[in-house]
Amino acid sequence: MAGGGEDVTGGVRIPLNDYGVLGQPPAPGEWTPTLTVSVVIPAHRAEHTLPLTLASLARQTYPAHLTEVVVVDDGERPAPPPSVPSAEPSTGPSTAPRAEPSPDAWPVPERLRVVRPRDGAWGRASACAAGAEAAEGQVILYLDADLVLFPEHVEAQMRWHHLADHLVVLGHLRFVPGLDEIPASEVLAAVEAGTVDKLFAEEDTTPQWTEGRWDQTDDLRAAGFTAFSVMVGATASLPAALLRAAGGLDASLVLGEDTELGYRLAQAGAVFVPDRRARCWHLGRSTVMRREPEVKRHNWPYLAERVPVFRWLRRHPHRTYLVPYVEVVVAAEDASFEEVRATVDGVLAGRLPDVRVTVTGPWGRLRGGRRDPLGDPSLDLRLMLACYEGEPRVRFRETVPDDCFPVPFRFHCPPGWVPSRGTIGAVVKHADRQRLGIVSLALDEREDGEVVHARLERTAAVTRARLCARPGDDLDDLIHEMFGTVWDAGDKWGLLPAESAASAGSAGGTGGAGSTGKAGGAAPPGPGRAWTGGSGTSPGAGGSSGRSGLGRSRSGRSGSEGSWAGRLGLRRSGSGRSGSEGSWAGRLGLRRSGSSRLGGRRFGARPLRRTARLLRRRLRALVRKDRPCPASV
């Protein structure tokens, strides 16, 4: 906390990336800092610029007793910077950089250490990881070794970290001529005199590409879920605990590691704050400025594998990636093999290829040894394992964690309910367009009044809510407050019960005849034939029967007078609490789509129609009705 008082950093609720709710941070010099900071500088062939960076760090306004500097020597041989009082002994010949004859002429921070990456490790990501591991501060500030900082640079960033504990603060840099055009002694003189801002005229500097993005999004307040994409590691600070929660930097990346870390920080609940008062000069042009096409050619394949929200890097219609876009969870414990297979096959047949399916169940109780193969009480579980033994996108777990970090979305789908080919992609797109944290799709009502539903969760929203939660807080309420949530009818998005999906699939020529399965409906199609959700059914459109709500209850009960909506009961999904009397939406604690996103739960936000595609599908369905259905394989 700034200036003493109650610590409220852990309970601040920031909607999306709009950190404006924090108010204005205290002006430099008008507050009392308490947090410690470790400045981590990865240095490779920086013998000419690093002394100037250290000199500018020695003249910072942030208290010296709260600051430590960790230089990570990433050179081929150990080379501590000049005048380092506590440098670790070198085992090789000394190649210490010296910009002046006497190293004592260069000011250095009071608490300065030099470390080396682990044996065999190299590159900026490995150096930053080694520095963070050696750091002792509560906040990590990454700096490049060719920056000259304004005196308030560290303080300007640190004041934000006293307001909330999940912020990533980005400094403001401008590119200026390198030391081949301006003498190092002149830069040093400006550092010592406190006139770094007068070294260069503003019109003679080049802004970083991220500055344009700041201008377009009100300094990232309106950037939403894409704020992470402008994270550049040249000057960025974040809580050490948040860095650990995100897994640190990916040492396998040589370039683009800061963007990839920014993505994972966003999934861990971070808010990104650019600070224009955290100013500095970058000596010389960056690698991106000098070799942009080559940098993009190098980075994009790596980022495509690790950053699922860069959809423009994932154009292939069928392949999978290192980090999937959506994790689909199917709970199999009380379900039949046919129900689980119907749901999983529907997911795998979808138009969204980079999905991962996790089937949860009591797999640990399956034992080897002699058993009755047809009378085995665990036969359904064994059939599930056998059915997807060779499918790399399906995995089996006893339980799943509270979130699917670093996967950006998790879709819970009850077994026996089949998404159409476009269902999951359409729901995710709707959540992105409306900037929602949770989308719940009502499917059915059980005898006890519980609403069977599917649920899309945004990982960034779930983790943010957990960071902000206090004892007794409901996570769904926090997600609704910061991101927004919505309920809608499942069949409107093409999510149908297996028996309906199978019959619709037969009408469309994709299913086949077969015996009745354990679920009580039609048997699943033969190998190689997917559950399609049926002709005439598309995400965002109602089913062909004209019903406005759920299908018939799987227990055999039809809807009561009116519609299923009138029978949904008083309990909101997941909370068990009663809503207000009146319409079914009010009884669920929801508001209709005209209400404010953060003021009430929206219902029925109808997605945009793809009219031409829908008409083509219906025409094809009409043509196929006259064709004989192929027999099941």
351 and 249 fall within a common domain: no
Helix (H, G, I), strand (E, B) or coil at 275: strand
> Do 334 and 442 fall within a single domain?
yes
Rounded CA separation 93/72 (Å) = 18
Separation of alpha carbons 533 and 549, rounded Å:
16
What is the sign of the dihedral through the CA atoms of 257, 219, 43 and 41? negative
Cα–Cα distance measured from residue 168 to residue 19, given in angstroms and rounded to the nearest whole number: 11
Contact 247, 140 (CB under 8 A): no
Is residue 434 in some structural domain?
Answer: yes
Are residues 489 and 565 located together in one domain of the fold? yes
Domain boundary among 272, 294, 316: 294
Could you tell me which of 276, 249, 39 has the C-alpha nearest to residue 144? 39
Report yes or no on 309 lying in a domain: no
Q: Are residues 349 and 282 in the same domain?
A: no
Tokens 């028996």 map to which residue? Answer: 499
Strands 417-419 and 495-497: antiparallel
Residue type, 97: P
Angle at 426 between CA 424 and CA 430, to 5 degrees: 120
Classify residue 44: in a domain, yes or no: yes
Two structure tokens written together for 205: 């500097």
Q: Does some domain include residue 240?
A: yes
477 with 604, same domain: the answer is yes
| pLDDT, position 369 | 86
Q: Is residue 75 domain-shared with residue 218, that is, in the same domain? A: yes
Question: Is residue 618 within 8 Å of 536, Cβ to Cβ?
Answer: yes
Count how many domains the chain has.
2
At 178 the three-state DSSP class reads coil
Dig out the tokens for 471 from the structure: 């004892």
Residue 226: inside a domain, yes or no? yes
Q: How far apart are CA 93 and CA 341, in angstroms?
A: 65
Short-list 178, 188, 172, 138, CA closest to 158: 138
497 and 576 share one domain: yes
Tell me the mean pLDDT per 10 residues along the chain, length 633.
Answer: 48 93 93 96 91 95 96 73 43 43 68 88 89 95 96 97 96 93 90 91 91 96 95 95 94 92 97 96 92 94 96 92 97 94 96 96 91 92 96 96 95 96 96 96 91 96 95 95 96 92 58 37 41 42 36 35 38 36 43 37 44 66 54 36
What string of H, E and C letters represents the secondary structure of 337-396?
HHHHHHHHHHHHCCCCCCEEEEEECCHHHCCCCCCCCCCCCCHHHHHHHHHCCCCCCEEE
Q: Assign residue 392 the CATH number of its domain.
A: 3.90.550
CA angle 559, 565, 571 (to 5 degrees): 110
Instruction: Provide the pLDDT for residue 264.
Output: 97
What are the beta bridge partners of residue 419?
A: 495
Where would I find the beta strands (DSSP E) of 150-302?
167-176, 206-207, 235-239, 271-283
Amino acid in the structure at residue 106 = W
Q: Which two tokens stand for residue 474?
A: 């409901």
Half-sphere exposure in the Cβ direction for 425 (13 Å, CA) = 15
Measured between alpha carbons, how far is 610 from 199 in angstroms, rounded to an integer?
57
Half-sphere exposure of 293 (CA within 13 A, CB side): 0
- Name the E strands within 479-571: 485-489, 495-497
Paired residues of 357 in beta bridges? 328, 394
* Torsion on CA atoms 162, 167, 168, 170, rounded to nearest 10: -60
DSSP state of 240: H
- The CATH number of whichever domain residue 286 belongs to comes to 3.90.550.10
DSSP codes of every residue in 417-438 = EEE-TTHHHHHHHHHHHHT-SE
Specify whether 46 is located in the same domain as 176.
yes
Please check whether residues 338 and 443 belong to one and the same domain: yes
Residue at 310 is within a domain: no
Do 466 and 562 belong to one domain? yes
The pLDDT assigned to 633 comes to 30
Residue 304's alpha-carbon distances to 272, 297, 354, 405, in angstroms, are 22, 12, 11, 17
Structural domain including 396 reads: 326-624
Domain endpoint, select from 277, 294, 311:
294
Does residue 299 sit within a domain? Answer: no
Instruction: Identify whether 14 is part of a domain.
Output: no
- Residue of 342, 381, 329, 617 whose CA lies nearest to 499: 342
Q: Domain check: are 505 and 605 in the same one? A: yes
Output the pLDDT for position 10.
64
Are residues 286 and 334 both part of a single domain?
no
